[in-house]
A and B are shown apart, each in its own frame.
Chain A
Amino acid sequence: MNSMTKLMMLSGAALALTAAQPAMAEWKPTKPIEFIATAGPGGGTDIIARTVQGIITKYKFIDQPIVVVNKGGGSGAEGYTYGKAMAGDPHKVIFGTSNAWQQPMVSKVAFNYTDLTPVAAMAQDEFLIWVKQDSPWKTAGDYLKAAKSGNLKMGGAQSKDTDEVLTRMIEKIADVKITYIPFKSGGEAAVQLAGGHIDSHVNNPSESVGQWRGGTQHPICVFSSKRLTNTDKVTATEGWSDIPTCVEQGLNIPTYQQPRTVWLPGKVTPEQAAFYVDVMKKVEGTPEWADYIKRTSQTNTFLVGDEFQKFIKDDIAHVHQIAQEQGWLVK
């Protein structure tokens, strides 16, 4: 064999390799795709799943039809457990929150986030302290002073979930005792506050914007290191960017956010995962997405791969500590 043929064979092999490369990366869905929202219809997780569905359909990012299925039973455990059972099926996409890793810590559920393949964390929802419109507390300082009595009632969605974790953080940092009352959803807590049955809640912006505009309740501070960027007015005089941060008002919790997470079932191939990362990246670039982020006053973040993993690890370390102090950890 002379060097010429060797070269030809090599280049042939190289050609074959380069030809194989895109073929491998270009995995495409071969049947209709199910988007599983780990929340009931109308909740934040449901809305993001349907928004993404709408954008993908409009721009034809995926040729296959997409259906959104709600599996919100057991505070979302239904959806995650379903995702775990669907291991190896790249036609199921699970939309959730930090529940994916927080819930297994505090409840005896049959899944953990490691059973799923992470795709991306697509947005971060903010938390605020909301009080009734006519309440005497104008700042976080007033609120905490009132909380010293130990008689304040804080409503929130679910038990031992993000809302209660945040409530316990406030208790610890401000050295107060607050009665936490779990409801089915943030929406329910907002109505209870409007009726004066509870004193406050820590809803996300989208869960209470209607109530704020309607003049039944208003936010006193946001758990963010800097003020929100959306300058649109919600009421006649105030908008999201006018809300002080909680740190400004002496409640030292610099950030507390709820990631909107996207997953595939376990045991899918890296190409399949890469396909969805790519699609979500495209979704993130559309004006409809920007509009969704603005309308719901969320923060746009796009965490994938190692960044996403690091975020999960940090969050677990943080929540684990609180869960341990409260005695919530499952044995």
Chain B
Amino acid sequence: MESNIESLMHGFGIAITMQHILLMMIGVLLGILVGVLPGLGAPNGVSLLLPLTFGMQPVSAIILLSSMYWGALFGGSVTSILFNIPGEPSSVATTFDGYPMARDGRPSTALATAFGSAAFGALVGVVLITLVASWVAQFALRFGPPEYFAVYFLAFASFVGMGGTPPIKTLVALSIGFAIAAIGIDTVSGSVRLTFGVPELVKGVDFVVAVMGLFGIGELLLAVEEEMHAKAVSSKIDWREVLRTIAGLPRYGWTLLRSAAIGCWMGITPGGPTAASFMSYGIAKRFAKKGSRPFGTGVPEGIVAPEAADHSAGTSALLPMLSLGIPGSATAAVMMGGLMIWGLNPGPMLFVDQRDFVWGLIASMYVSNIVAVVLVLLTVPVFAALMRIPFFIIAPLIFIICTVGAYSVSNSYLDVVLMFGFGIIGYLFKKAAYPLAPLVLAIVIGDKAEDAFRQAMLMSKGSLGIFFSSPLVTCLILGGFAFLVVPQLMKLVRPRRARPGLEATEV
């Protein structure tokens, strides 16, 4: 471990040069831009920038690209909070409380809370990479198909058991999500499923298209109907508010730590940032104090939890890429392509052969995350000011952003049509009080869960015993069941004690 610190200091020597700090600032600003524009997103942004890096030193190139990644992770939260349109899959969970808070006239607080927790999550992720890189890499190898399935199962279970909505509605939403995730070519059998004779559907439904419709357009339809957003929110642009929010973050220390831990775990395993943010949100809701404001109405913990988890997962997802050559996220996959073009082979030997490169990158993560959080906090007033624009101007803009965003995912008109379809589904779901989160979760990791389950079944020749074949997978599966069953048991037990309990927690 001592040698790791030594290497890190060596890395700082490489990362902190005028040229590299400049590259970080450029990368972060570009990243914020692609993160804010839905449909573009970090993976696309990084691949657009990739050709420009061919002539650069590998370490400069990776600093530019990873800075863009950090910028995009931050930027993705902006539209989630202000307009209920997640710019990145992993910022969907941020909409649940971020959007209500912004609508409540506190956009600066919501943004600052998100950025502050995100920066904390990212730093935890980097520290983890610095200290336990080699051990973690070995641990990740223990994940085969049954373990993957168990992790996904855990993520689903933490949602189904979550209070608030009747479990049956959650199950309906999950099932619809699974069906949507099944569209396209099936990895395990290679056959085409649920395309209804539309050749283009063979590629499946892109997640971004789904969420822009479900959240962006769905919310717009609702707003038009209720006319409740007809007036602009009078948001004060107050620098002190930003500072006060950041200073107040330590109050959520426990939530921050727990969320960062979930994020690191999911980033390494690699469940990915999206599953991490959902799971963290679900668990934060579970742990919420009785009698405090319910989640979903703009509580700070509801922003802290998904943001911290998202960023710690996003950061630690780079570790499997460097040490094992498996990308933990789509953006990491693009960067890995970059590594190969620059003439580096990702894998365990990278730490030995390319010491300057690896530790330069790790050190740059510390620096560029600080650069990113400073830059992004500076933009808070600008973004918050967007909330002052009257609804009759902002509504058509959201419509245009969603349309262009859906088209730019893969230059396809079908995606635009699908996005509007999802908009109607989103509207109907909200009218009928069905939860959107399980639907989205199933669209994102439903097909991965299915693949993992069927791969596990092929391995065990059809025996479910494979899910109890090692302590690791057994613990994960039992944890999942606990999430499913315990809340229901609590409900059975609680009615008798509900009243005194409520009085005790001074409302």
Contact = CB atoms under 8 A, between A and B. Distances in A.
Interface of A: 40-43, 46-47, 50-51, 53-54, 57-58, 67-71, 73-75, 77-78, 81, 106-111, 153, 158-161, 179-184, 187-188, 190-192, 194-198, 206, 209-211, 213-216, 295, 328
B191 A42 contact: no
Given A159-B187, A182-B187, A81 B348 contact: no
Given A213-B349, A214-B349, A161 B192 contact: no
B338 to A, nearest CB: 9
Nearest to A65: B51
Contact of B184 (A40, A73, A160): A73
Nearest to A164: B190
Interface string B334-366: 101100110101111110000000000000000
A325 to B, nearest CB: 16
Interface of B: 43, 47-48, 50-51, 54, 141-145, 184-192, 199-200, 202-204, 324-327, 330, 333-334, 336-337, 340-341, 343, 345-350, 410-411, 451, 455, 458-459, 461
Nearest to B190: A159
Given A57-B51, A78-B410, A187-B325, A213 B341 contact: no
Given A41-B337, A77-B185, A78-B202, A188 B326 contact: yes
A106 B190 contact: yes
Contacts of B330: 40-41
B61 to A, nearest CB: 13
Instruction: Point out which of A51, A184, A211 has the most chain B C-beta atoms below 10 A from its C-beta.
Output: A211
B133 to A, nearest CB: 14
B187 A77 contact: no
A81 B145 CA distance: 31
A157 to B, nearest CB: 9
Q: Tell me if A's interface is mostly helix, strand, loop or mixed.
A: mixed
A96 B442 CA distance: 30
B50 A50 contact: yes
Contacts of A67: 48
A107 B190 contact: yes
B43 A41 contact: yes
Nearest to B333: A42
Given A81-B199, A109-B202, A190-B325, A54 B341 contact: yes
Nearest to A210: B347
A54 B143 contact: no
A183 B447 CA distance: 12
Contacts of A107: 185, 190-192
A-B interface, 10 closest residue pairs, ranked by CB to CB distance from nearest = A210-B347, A73-B203, A110-B199, A197-B144, A214-B348, A159-B190, A78-B203, A74-B202, A195-B141, A74-B185
Contacts of A53: 51
19 contacts: A42-B340, A47-B337, A50-B341, A54-B341, A70-B47, A73-B202, A73-B204, A77-B192, A78-B410, A107-B190, A109-B192, A159-B190, A179-B461, A181-B455, A184-B451, A188-B326, A190-B325, A196-B141, A209-B347
A71 B326 CA distance: 20
A198 to B, nearest CB: 8
Contacts of A160: 190
Contact of A110 (B54, B187, B188, B202): B202
A51 B141 contact: no
- Interface-central residue, A46, A111, A160, A328, by most chain B CB under 10 Å: A46
B324 A191 contact: yes
Contact of B411 (A54, A69, A158): A69
Contacts of A215: 348
A50 B325 CA distance: 19
Given A194-B324, A210-B347, 5 more contacts: A106-B190, A107-B192, A153-B458, A159-B186, A196-B141
Contacts of A195: 141-144
A143 B188 CA distance: 25
A54 B191 contact: no
A47 B144 contact: no
Contacts of B191: 107-108
B190 A161 contact: yes
A188 to B, nearest CB: 7
B277 to A, nearest CB: 22
Nearest to A41: B334
Most buried by B among A47, A69, A194: A194
Contact of B337 (A50, A109, A179, A194): A50
B408 to A, nearest CB: 11
A182 B459 CA distance: 11
Contacts of A42: 327, 333-334, 336-337, 340
B459 A179 contact: yes
A307 to B, nearest CB: 29
A109 to B, nearest CB: 6
B341 A74 contact: no
A159 B193 CA distance: 14
Contacts of A75: 185, 187, 190
B343 A77 contact: no
